[in-house]
Amino acid sequence: MLALLLLFPAEGFAKKKKEKVMTDREVWTGVLYQMAAPVLSNMSEGKLQENMLVELSPTWDGRNRKVTYMECFGRLMAGLAPWLALPDDDTAEGQQRKQLREWALKSYANAVDPESPDYLLWRKEGQTLVDAAYVAESFLRAYDALWMPLDSLTKQRYITEFTQLRRVDPPYTNWLLFSSTVECFLRKAGAQSDTYRIVSALRKVEEWYVGDGFYSDGPEFAFDYYNSYVLHPMYVECLEVMTKAGKNRIWNAPECNYQRAQKRMQRYGMILERLISPEGTFPVYGRSITYRTGTMQPLALLAWREWLPKELPNGQVRAALTAVIKRMFGDGRNFNEKGFLTLGFNGSQPNISDWYTNNGSLYMASLAFLPLGLPADHPFWTDAPLPWTSKKAWGSEDFPKDHAHND
């Protein structure tokens, strides 16, 4: 099976003269399938916990190692969901997508079935709240494709598991949004939700806005990518549920404005695009850098939701993100011998992982692939590639000046 999944040989994307040159979309779908198939093919049969090659940080804090499987599944599905929401077709991509969706739906059921070997660690550890939020986010991102087809017993099991997570008192950081995201999903699904846990989190994130597209992760600002991993996407998505996409206001939190949050994310997306070097690299700083391409989530989300600002044309963003994906995944070094992501940033680099990191954590990398939720004939995929900002700048081409964003 691994031989089929390792789509990109060690020499990278270099092609022989007679071989077909891969389109950008083929590159993206190839990498995401390679990432997802070992997880979902195993979990759909209740064999993920039996077969996953787990890697823990050398400074692991001793928590139950079974958090790995929850992290792996939840984070993968949050990035994979938009692609699986596309309708079936007879293309090679469509066959991959259909297979992954079938595996995913079985995996969702196993995740909450106490009789399944792959029943996840819902009832222990505070960490569960984090990754339950990514599961909930996957349902929000593909509600009709991934939530609605589940049988009534599985749905009720999710509602029960999500509800019992109120046992976790979230730290005074981005974790507030994990509680909010779970509760927003319950609200969307018509289950009883805790409005206080939602609105208090949204108010606090709004208070933590420090300007020019950045939120502070708690009372003190840290220079890392948590605006990418959590703050921008989950803040906007929770506001979307609570305000019906900006049509309403939250009566007791009038300062939490959906459209304004979108504009801040657009500014942050512009900054992310400028961080992509001409070679497709980006600055390696801050904690959790092992999340790899997850750093690009807001830019990917803007593209998928068709919210890109006028300064970022589709062809430019696609070319920039493709360069990052090729640079990160083009040689296969980010997968271990069983096909699962390996601890590191670009290759096996376990010593850079934080005390809470396992290789299930790294499936945050899937969050850069959200634009696959756009059909293949969308301008994001069909527009001609354009040089991105740093490529223009370092290539002596004209490029736009940069200015701070004001609300």
Calpha distance 288→368 (Å, rounded): 15
For residue 90, give Cα distances in angstroms to 94, 95, 97. Answer: 6, 7, 10
- Report whether 34 contacts 342 (CB < 8 A): no
- Are the C-beta atoms of 55 and 337 separated by less than 8 Å? no
The whole-number pLDDT of residue 10 equals 43
Dist. CA 48–CA 51, nearest whole Å: 5
Rounded Cα distance between 363 and 74, Å, is 8
Q: What is the mean pLDDT of the segment spanning 232-251? A: 96
CATH code for the structural domain at 27-394: 1.50.10
Residue 218 burial (C-beta neighbours within 10 Å; 0-12, 13-18, 19+) = middle
The CA distance from 97 to 33, in Å, is 8
Strand partners, 215: 209
For the chain, domain boundaries: 27-394
Statement: residue 4 has pLDDT above 90: no
15, pLDDT greater than 80: no
Query: Could you tell me whether strands 214-215 and 209-211 are parallel, antiparallel, or unpaired per DSSP bridges?
Result: antiparallel
Indicate the SS3 state at residue 210.
strand
Residues 295/364, Cβ–Cβ less than 8 Å: no
Report yes or no: 215 and 227 within 8 Å, Cβ to Cβ.
Answer: yes
- pLDDT tens for 105-114 read 999 999 999 9
pLDDT score recorded for residue 16? 46
Residue with tokens 């600055």: 283
* Predicted pLDDT of residue 18: 59
Widest CA span in the chain: 63
Distances (CA, A) of 220 to 136, 198, 203, 215: 28, 22, 16, 10
The whole-angstrom separation of Cα 34 and Cα 94 is 15
Report which of 213, 95, 92, 97 is spatially closest to residue 146, judged by C-alpha positions.
Answer: 97
CA 222, 226, 228, 231 dihedral sign is negative
Work out the percent of the chain whose per-residue pLDDT is above 70.
95
The predicted structure's pLDDT at residue 20: 80
User: For position 105, what pLDDT does the model report?
Assistant: 98
- Provide the token pair at 121: 């660690």
Distance CA 134, CA 139 (A): 9
- Identify the three-state secondary structure at position 214: strand
Predicted local distance difference test score (pLDDT) of residue 335: 97
